[in-house]
Structure 1
Amino acid sequence: MASSKKMATMISSIASCVYFLVIVFQVPLFRVPCRRGTCATPMEVASCQLMATRVFPEFVIKALLYPGAIAKAIITHTTIPTFDRIFKLYNLASVKRPSSATDLHRLEVLAGSYLCVAGAFLSLIKPGRISLFGTLLTLWGLAREILLKKVGETIFHKTSTVDIYPMMLVSVSCAFLSVRRYVRRIVGSSKAKLD
């Protein structure tokens, strides 16, 4: 039984590290309209909303976005942007403060993105369910938006602006496997079937 606990801990740790890397290095998981135009990662959605509401100082938002900017620069073989040019790179310099009416159009995606980012950082300390809830909430919001758009397309012949990329499956899998209790049950049931 000790080996199954060790295996579950190892799987959970690896999954939470992969989830952290996917979120922090901003691997595109979806495409959804946001305040700056189109966002493709939970970090972009959360940063765009944080920039609009001015909850955190600008350097915190820049620090959240900078690892993804470095990763994109390396992948596209361009120069690594300076810390001061992050807002221009992500088109966040023109994001305005929200009006008095709250933007509730994609609330699930926004709340899920916040939970994804928080869960990614907290999973390094202690893996938990926050990243799983955030990922599932974001996925639910995107799926609901796509289903509503599909119904609208058949009636009004419009094109959908919301997409879910295959990398979202990796994100959901890593978020699920980062919960140690679930992994212990899977490993325990698989060992029981083998015995």
Structure 2
Amino acid sequence: MAFSTRLATLISSIAFSTYFFIVIFQIPIFRVPCRMGICKTPLEVTSSQLIASEVFPLFIVKTLLYPGAFAKAICKQKSIPTYANLLKLHNFRARAMSATSDLQHLEVLAGSYLAVGGAIAGLIKPGRMSLFGILLLMWGLIMGKSGFSHDTGIHIYPAMYVVLLSAFFSIRRDVRKIIRSFNLKHIVKVKRF
């Protein structure tokens, strides 16, 4: 029993670390039109909407965007962006979209909010918010590709499936149930022989 708890804790912490890394360091998982042109991460969708709605101060949005900009600069061997230059780097003020185009991607917007919120809240305790966010994102992107939305340029990258699995396995209680079910099946097979 203690082994399954420790194993579930290990699996869920590794899965959440993977999920957090992909979301916060802005590894592209999809491509969808947004206010800044093309968004490739949930953090870009969330940030563009937060800047447009002016709900949060800009320094909070910049703080969320900086780890991804830092990681991209390191990977591309470019100079590290300054905090003041961050919004120019992402072209957040380049193109404005109407409210109706935001409503066409409502699932993507809500899923992005939940995915980013799940990554931040998961630092305290990983939960289902990240899983629901990724599922809502996938639903919005798949429906957008299948003809319910007439936009072109929507694409899902293979990293989306890694994020989905990471979000699922970051829920410790569900991982513990899976491990226990495998242990019970193994015990039943041993008792029969």
- The normalised TM-score by structure 1 is 0.90
Matching residue within 151, 172, 175 for 2:164: 172
1:142 equivalent in alignment to 2:141: yes
Q: Which amino acid in structure 2 is aligned with residue 138 of structure 1? A: L
What do residues 13-38 of structure 1 show as CA deviations (whole Å, max 9, x unaligned)? 11111111110000100000001100
Cα contact 1:23–1:117 (8 A) shared by 2: yes
> Within 2, Cα distance between the matches of 1:103 and 1:89?
22
Cα contact 1:66–1:86 (8 A) shared by 2: yes
> Within 2, Cα distance between the matches of 1:96 and 1:143?
24
Query: Which residue of 2 is the match for residue 61 of structure 1?
Result: 61
> Within 1, Cα distance between the matches of 2:166 and 2:42?
15
* Aligned partner of residue 56 in structure 1, secondary structure: coil
Query: Which residue of 2 is the match for residue 184 of structure 1?
Result: 176
* Closer/same/farther in 2, CA of residues 166 and 25 from structure 1, 3 Å limit: same
Aligned counterparts, 1:75-154, within 5 A: 75-94=75-94, 103-148=102-147
* Aligned partner of residue 132 in structure 1, secondary structure: helix
What do residues 123-169 of structure 1 show as CA deviations (whole Å, max 9, x unaligned)? 111010000000000010000001117x96xxxxxx83100000000
Query: Which residue of 2 is the match for residue 193 of structure 1?
Result: 185
- RMSD of aligned alpha carbons: 1.9
Cα contact 1:52–1:97 (8 A) shared by 2: no
Query: Which residue of 1 is the match for residue 43 of structure 2?
Result: 43
* Closer/same/farther in 2, CA of residues 96 and 34 from structure 1, 3 Å limit: closer
Cα contact 1:116–1:131 (8 A) shared by 2: yes
* Aligned partner of residue 125 in structure 1, secondary structure: coil
- The normalised TM-score by structure 2 is 0.91
Which deviates more, 183-192 or 115-124? 183-192
Q: Which amino acid in structure 2 is aligned with residue 136 of structure 1? A: L
Shift in Å, 1:96: 5.0
* Closer/same/farther in 2, CA of residues 102 and 162 from structure 1, 3 Å limit: closer
